[in-house]
Amino acid sequence: MDLFDRILQSRGLSDPRSRDEFLNPVYEDFKHDPFLLPDMNNAVERLVAARENQDKITIYGDYDIDGLTASTVLIDAFESFGFEKVDIYIPNRFVEGYGLTIDAVEKIAATGAQLIVTVDCGSLSEKEIIRAKELGVDVIVTDHHNVAPVQPPAVAVINPKRLLQDYPDAYDGYTLRKQFRVQDVADRGGRTVPGSGLYPFLDLAGVGVAFKLVQALQTRLEGLPTGQEKWLLDLVALGTVCDVVTLVDENRANVYWGLKVMAKTRRPGLRALMAVAGVEPEKVSARSLGFGLGPRMNAAGRLETAQYALDMLRSTDKSTALRSSQLLDEMNRDRRADQDRILEEAIVQAEKYVDDPVLVVSSPGWSHGIIGIVAAKLLEKYKKPTFVLEEMGKEAKGSARSYGDFSAADAIRAADDIITKGGGHKLAAGVTLPTKNIGAFRGRVNEFYSSLELRGQAELLLPKADAEASFGEVGETLVAQINQLEPFGNGNPQPILKSVGVKVVGLRRMGSDAQHVKLDLRDLQGRTLQMLAFNAPEHFFVEVGTLVSVWYQPDINEWNSRRTVEGRLLHLELSGTTL
């Protein structure tokens, strides 16, 4: 069995059928029936009536990429369907915060809107939706976040997570168990539905849910013939990758084909953004979206307003698109400078609490538009769940990042009596609290961690190899085979190889502070391979002659028209003495 076959086997892709389905996903095979999603029929009926009456519609978005792409998907589709009075409302992170607010609902109602369609938010907005009803405005929610036990009084709440709540035994993670496709399953209320009537895959991003609404509307409205919705897949891919949902099932198919649409996108804004980000359209990948386009779009909402990113997406001429993209590029540079400053200050403070199992750091002037990234960087450096807070006078607002078995959201719940509000997910959450309570909050989340009696958490951050390899197996053919597994991301990471007992025959420090390392390694068969690590930890700088085991991802390095295979070094362990 060759190395690529061993990689596929480690991912459960041994039989030819599952392998072909994964390597060559057919869009139509994963185009699940949108009417299997909760309340989809209600939403379609209301929108068909809105089209007949030409009601004024406001799409209520969000300031991150998922919300921006979902908003653009809907307005593009609505315009194709012949809706004439549609606009987009994007809340300001620093003024309104996340999700629907009563103030925003009242502003929208004052414009004469008769219908609000949310994207990427709204599932928990009961009082805001009640207020909209009082003002004569209907609400359709499209979302993918956590849901309430009782749904808010909207016309429709289209959220796949409702099915996970109502039919928990029917799903394995976010995927419908195969046996439930052919038999009845009872929900928590004792009702039964045919297994085939449950949506097969629940981990859609907000843009994925919005796209399902478009597919449903295609069955009732003219203007966007079946198949033409594929031109929206560039946006679906961008939002899906950047929201870090699992790239399997419908998400994988949408991103796989979305990257092909992105390569020849009709959107001047995306073409211009790729240009300023140095992304060649014919080589665009999930990594290009996550690390090239995504940070530039998010920078607008993190520093000022996401409206700039929306304007870029909706640009219709090249010159305007280029100006918008250049502005986003400048904002991203400013964001990185702010991020580096905050991270440097946060590290100094983190050293004071280095013995705490959970880091909690805070300071005035740490923009809460950026501190989530800083929290992720601190987690990576210290291998600990991390809360980073901006002190804003009497109030502090922060972001958390976690990993393994420690839930940031549960930790916040354990401090409910000393915070103002908070919540989120297991691995990422947000919290607002009185500044004077930061010390007590630090104590509370660390007490919560200790109460869990967790063991071996840091090991969960170590890379897991798909297969062991000798250097002779690692060539351009293997890299080309691995590329067939694209798009890479959450649920489908780029494969990792492990080589055991290889000898360090050369070492070079690089970078302005000698923070990067390039190793020349030789295996037992005498084959050599270079490996590179940026911002390498100190134990990567080993003496020549040392035997090590290495975990790495192979790739092609092109320099001066010369192509060589090298490894991106992820982890290194000593496996012998110096020779």
CATH at 538: 2.40.50.460
Range name among 123-137, 332-346, 565-579 with the lowest pLDDT average: 565-579
Between the two ends of the chain, the Cα-to-Cα distance in Å is 33
Do 492 and 472 share a structural domain?
yes
Do 442 and 526 share a structural domain?
no
Instruction: Return the DSSP state at 232.
Output: G
pLDDT score for 180: 66
Domain enclosing residue 414, as ranges? 354-460
pLDDT score for 459: 87
Whats the size of the chain, residue-wise? 579
Residue 579 has pLDDT above 60, yes or no: no
CATH of the domain at 77: 3.90.1640.30
Do 130 and 35 share a structural domain?
yes
Do 141 and 79 share a structural domain?
yes
Residue 185 has pLDDT above 60, yes or no: no
Do 136 and 52 share a structural domain?
yes
The bridge status of strand 528-533 relative to strand 516-522 is antiparallel
- Has residue 389 been placed in a domain? yes
Q: Which helix (H) or strand (E) holds 337?
A: helix 318-350
- Has residue 285 been placed in a domain? no
- Has residue 539 been placed in a domain? yes
The pair of three-digit structure tokens given for residue 169, joined into one six-digit string: 């035994």
SS3 assignment, position 89: strand
Do 225 and 116 share a structural domain?
yes
Q: How confident is the model at residue 83 (pLDDT cuts 50, 70, 90)?
A: very high
Domain boundary among 437, 460, 483: 460
pLDDT score for 92: 86
- Has residue 436 been placed in a domain? yes
Do 205 and 194 share a structural domain?
no
Residue 186 has pLDDT above 60, yes or no: no
Residue 171 has pLDDT above 80, yes or no: yes
Residue 577 has pLDDT above 50, yes or no: no
The structure's pTM equals 0.90
Domain count, the chain: 4
Do 431 and 393 share a structural domain?
yes
CATH of the domain at 441: 3.10.310.30
Do 154 and 165 share a structural domain?
no
pLDDT score for 324: 96
Strands (E) across 257-308 are located at: none
pLDDT tens, position by position, 87-97: 999 998 877 77
Do 495 and 393 share a structural domain?
no
Q: Which helix (H) or strand (E) holds 356?
A: none
Residue 190 has pLDDT above 80, yes or no: no
Domain boundary among 406, 435, 460: 460
- Has residue 22 been placed in a domain? no
* Backbone CA torsion sign across 221, 225, 227, 231: negative
Residues 6+ apart with CB under 8 A from 344: none
pLDDT tens, position by position, 251-260: 999 999 999 9
- Has residue 69 been placed in a domain? yes
Residue 511 has pLDDT above 80, yes or no: yes
pLDDT tens, position by position, 210-219: 999 999 999 9
- Has residue 246 been placed in a domain? no
pLDDT tens, position by position, 435-461: 999 999 999 999 999 999 998 898 888
Q: How confident is the model at residue 183 (pLDDT cuts 50, 70, 90)?
A: very low
- Has residue 371 been placed in a domain? yes
Residue 124 CB coordination number (10 Å) = 19
Residues 6+ apart with CB under 8 A from 384: 356, 357, 358, 359, 378
Do 382 and 490 share a structural domain?
no
Q: Contacts by 53-57 with C-beta closer than 8 Å and gap 24+? A: 54/83, 54/84, 54/85, 55/85, 55/114, 55/115, 56/85, 56/86, 56/111, 56/112, 56/113, 56/114, 56/115, 57/83, 57/85, 57/86, 57/87, 57/113, 57/114, 57/115, 57/116, 57/117
Domain boundary among 402, 437, 460: 460
Do 445 and 387 share a structural domain?
yes
Percent of the chain with pLDDT over 90: 84
Q: How confident is the model at residue 576 (pLDDT cuts 50, 70, 90)?
A: low
